[in-house]
Amino acid sequence: MPNSEYSTSFFKDLFDFKLRKYITRRVASAVYLGYLIIIPISTLVLTYAAFDYARHLYLDRNFHWQLLAIWVVGPFIGLFVLIYTRILIELNIAVVNIAENTEPKA
């Protein structure tokens, strides 16, 4: 027996201009998967770009502390952004759950 929550078409609910159905729970896992792919890749790219910039900026000097900060702090920032994104998605789902539980019964 199909789940009554997902029995209607996704695109029908997407183009419901009276906003009677919520699609947040259906979309949240795909959005999180996208962020789970994009955030680590962008963290690696930005960390490498910062390393390359620091290497060219300090051509005549040692930049060991900058290197340490780039390779240690950069991934922690990416991890923080990923955790923050997860919390925001869970918060949106919680708000939708509250809205679904408090809407008047017809």
pLDDT above 80: residue 18: no
Residue 13 belongs to some domain of the structure: no
Residue 69 belongs to some domain of the structure: yes
Question: Average pLDDT, whole number, for the chain?
Answer: 82
How many domains is the chain built from?
A: 1
Instruction: Give burial (CB, 10 Å; 0-12/13-18/19+) of 19.
Output: exposed
Residue 15 belongs to some domain of the structure: no
Domain encompassing residue 71: 24-102
Give the DSSP letter of residue 60.
S
> Over the stretch 55-90, which tens digit does the pLDDT of each residue have?
787 776 777 777 777 888 888 998 999 999 999 999
Residue 10 belongs to some domain of the structure: no
**Is the pTM higher than 0.75?**
no
